[in-house]
């Protein structure tokens, strides 16, 4: 589902994001990416969704070589990947329904389809009862579930989540992880970037550990190393 | 279709979300469109006056009283064949006398002089209109030819009515034209900058939405479209309002215009009313054109997709 071959990404001023990273993630996998702050986890996620471009190496997502993806093809790629990023929260002036609908609207889906799909998506994350509320009328954990519902809007084969539990207490975090597991069970490949030792150890899934832009460990049913 | 409709919807939302900014933008664009219209109007009035005065320009040729009206008529026909000549009108001796008698300045003097002489001392005359202003000099040249010169009153037989006034006016109108062009560019630039800045602010306020749109796979056109829609709303609103505003203003000012142009066929309000649709179309075209241009510039500069 995701393949990186000798990928290097250097930011301005020689800031190393990733250096000579090779990783293969098979369809249906649930992979955690861990590492200290600044180790390149977000860079990894951004490369996969073509938010950043690699300086060297090759990146293949869903059988599509996106190393030199054309600018106008990026929307097509994004509609195949669900994205949960720290800095892409809900729009405060839209209801939960509208927030999820937004992802379908901007991709040109018909109003009729949106009306039927959005409640289904909110049902997956257990919030179909609250779809007329605004983001500030629900808890942080619930907000994050809506973000996940939005990421699922295009029924992606791949879900990339960068610290989805970042600001949540452990109970809420557990719920989010359970949700991601459920999504994974339905066949979506999940790439989870996290700091949370507890979660990683509980998951008992594949763990890729980054350090200073290098892969220093890749365990099948791993534990949080650092 | 749905996509276009949604872009319009989002653009409309942009407009309302920054309503005060939108209002100020529309007002300033209106002001500039208005000033552009005034400048354009002055220009048009100048042209119209020039046309009106041109119609009053002609060459009067007074023949000696000894030359028969028939001969004058023949000369008139000859001249009418010249390429520069637009029209030739013969005025008989009696008509010339009558005209002079009716002139309050000379009337009584002329009447007593005629009574003393016992006959009409005036010759027949030709009133010649040239096709172009330059033509008058050429025509005057023909008349100075020996062929005609002997028949014509040597003192002031050839009179170019209003030609000098017209030349002066032409110079002025030409200068106005030039100034108008610069002013229009200037006001257009201000309107452009205003919309540009507003769209920049709009983009800034919408940056969260824009980020999400891109992340969930909105096409570039869809991310940009709403801002173009918003700015077209500014342009459209400003231009329509400006045109509407011009109606009462011109109605109010019309009596003054009429006073100013008394005797000339210059009708500012009439022109405006007669060309209302064209003027509205022009305002809208200029307003929306500026809006499109400035939003595209702002998007290109501040909305890196
Ligand atoms: N836009 C950027 N410009 C310059 N340097 C950057 C940029 N983004 C990231 N970096 C640098 O690249 C390196 C990797 O950053 P990255 O964001 O991938 O780390 P991370 O593992 O996600 O960290 P965190 O756990 O704090 O989120 C860091 O040294 C960072 O300073
Ligand atoms: Mg990060």
Here the ipTM equals 0.85
User: What is residue B100's predicted lDDT score, i.e. its pLDDT?
Assistant: 80
Residue contact B218–A83, C-beta within 8 A: no
Q: What is d(CA A42, CA A34) in angstroms, rounded to the nearest whole number?
A: 10
Compare CB distances from A78 to B3, B215, B222 and report the shortest one's residue: B215
Q: What is the pLDDT of residues B158-177, one digit of tens each?
A: 888 777 778 888 888 889 88
Q: What is d(CA B59, CA B76) in angstroms, rounded to the nearest whole number?
A: 12
Most distant pair of Cα atoms in chain B: their distance: 106
Residue contact B217–A78, C-beta within 8 A: yes
Cα A191 to ligand 2 centroid, rounded to whole Å: 13
Range 15-34 of A in CB contact (< 8 A) with B: none
B217 contacts chain A (CB < 8 A):
yes
Q: What is d(CA A222, CA B143) in angstroms, rounded to the nearest whole number?
A: 113
Provide the whole-model pTM: 0.77
Residue contact B219–A72, C-beta within 8 A: yes
Q: What is d(CA B281, CA B171) in angstroms, rounded to the nearest whole number?
A: 30
Q: What is d(CA A129, CA A145) in angstroms, rounded to the nearest whole number?
A: 13
Q: What is the pLDDT of residues A127-183, one digit of tens each?
A: 999 999 999 999 999 999 999 999 999 999 999 999 998 888 889 999 999 999 999
The pair of structure tokens assigned to A79 is 């509609």
Residue contact B216–A78, C-beta within 8 A: yes
Query: Which residues are registered as beta bridge partners of A23?
Result: A4
Portions of chain B given CATH number 3.30.70.3040: 58-161
At residue B148 the predicted structure's pLDDT band, cuts being 50, 70 and 90, is confident
CATH node for B58-161: 3.30.70.3040
Q: What is the pLDDT of residues A73-84, one digit of tens each?
A: 999 999 999 999
Domains with residue ranges and CATH for chain A: 1-80+157-226 (3.40.50.300), 95-155 (no CATH)
A140, A100 Cβ separation under 8 angstroms: no
Q: What is d(CA B121, CA A64) in angstroms, rounded to the nearest whole number?
A: 105
Chain B positions touching A102 (Cβ under 8 A) are 209, 212-213, 216
A110 contacts chain B (CB < 8 A):
yes
A212 Cβ inside 6 Å of ligand 1: no
Chain A residue closest in CA terms to B217: A75
Q: What is the pLDDT of residues B51-108, one digit of tens each?
A: 877 777 888 888 888 888 888 888 888 888 888 888 898 888 888 888 887 877 777 7
């Amino acid at each position: 589902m995701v393949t990186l071959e000798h990928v290097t990404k250097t930011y301005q001023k020689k800031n190393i994001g990733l250096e000579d990273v090779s990783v293969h993630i098979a369809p249906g996998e649930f992979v955690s990416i861990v590492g200290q702050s600044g180790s390149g986890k977000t860079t990894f996620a951004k490369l996969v969704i073509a938010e950043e471009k690699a300086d060297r190496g090759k990146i293949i997502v869903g059988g599509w070589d996106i190393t030199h993806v054309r600018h106008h093809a990026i929307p097509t790629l994004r509609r195949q990947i669900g994205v949960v990023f720290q800095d892409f929260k809900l729009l405060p002036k839209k209801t939960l329904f509208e927030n999820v609908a937004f992802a379908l609207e901007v991709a040109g889906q018909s109003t009729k389809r949106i009306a039927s799909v959005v409640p289904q998506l909110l049902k997956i994350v257990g919030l179909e009862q609250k779809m007329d509320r605004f983001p500030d009328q629900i808890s942080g954990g619930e907000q994050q579930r809506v973000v996940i519902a939005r990421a699922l809007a295009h029924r992606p084969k791949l879900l990339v989540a960068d610290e989805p539990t970042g600001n949540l207490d452990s109970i809420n975090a557990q719920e989010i992880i359970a949700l991601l597991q459920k999504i994974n069970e339905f066949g979506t490949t999940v790439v989870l970037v996290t700091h949370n030792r507890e979660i990683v150890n509980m998951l008992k899934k594949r763990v890729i550990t980054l350090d200073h832009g290098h892969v220093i460990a890749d365990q099948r049913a791993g534990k949080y190393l650092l | 279709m749905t996509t276009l409709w949604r872009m319009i919807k989002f653009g409309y939302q942009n407009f309302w979300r920054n309503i005060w900014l939108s209002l100020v933008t529309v007002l300033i664009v209106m002001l500039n469109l208005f000033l552009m219209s005034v400048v354009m109007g002055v220009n048009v009035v100048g042209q119209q006056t020039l046309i009106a005065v041109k119609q009053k320009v002609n060459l009067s040729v007074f023949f000696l009283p000894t030359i028969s009206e028939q001969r004058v008529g023949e000369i008139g026909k000859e001249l009418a064949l010249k390429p520069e000549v637009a029209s030739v009108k013969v005025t008989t001796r009696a008509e010339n006398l009558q005209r002079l008698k009716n002139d309050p300045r000379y009337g009584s003097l002329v009447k007593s002089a005629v009574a003393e002489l016992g006959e009409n001392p005036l010759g027949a005359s030709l009133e010649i209109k040239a096709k172009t202003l330059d033509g008058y000099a050429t025509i005057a040249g023909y008349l100075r030819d020996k062929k005609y010169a002997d028949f014509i009153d040597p003192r002031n037989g050839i009179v170019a009515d209003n030609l000098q006034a017209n030349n002066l006016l032409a110079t002025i109108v030409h200068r106005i034209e030039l100034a108008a062009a610069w002013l229009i560019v200037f006001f257009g630039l201000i309107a452009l900058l205003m919309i540009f800045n507003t769209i920049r602010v709009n983009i800034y306020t919408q940056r969260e939405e824009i980020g999400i749109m891109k992340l969930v796979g909105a096409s570039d056109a869809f991310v940009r479209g709403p801002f173009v829609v918003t700015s077209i709303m500014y342009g459209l609103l400003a231009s329509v309002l400006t045109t509407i505003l011009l109606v009462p203003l011109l109605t109010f000012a019309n009596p003054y215009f009429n006073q100013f142009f008394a005797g000339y066929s210059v009708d500012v309000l009439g022109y405006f009313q007669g060309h209302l649709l064209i003027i509205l179309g022009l305002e809208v075209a200029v307003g929306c054109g500026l809006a499109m241009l400035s939003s595209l510039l702002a998007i290109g500069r501040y909305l890196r997709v």
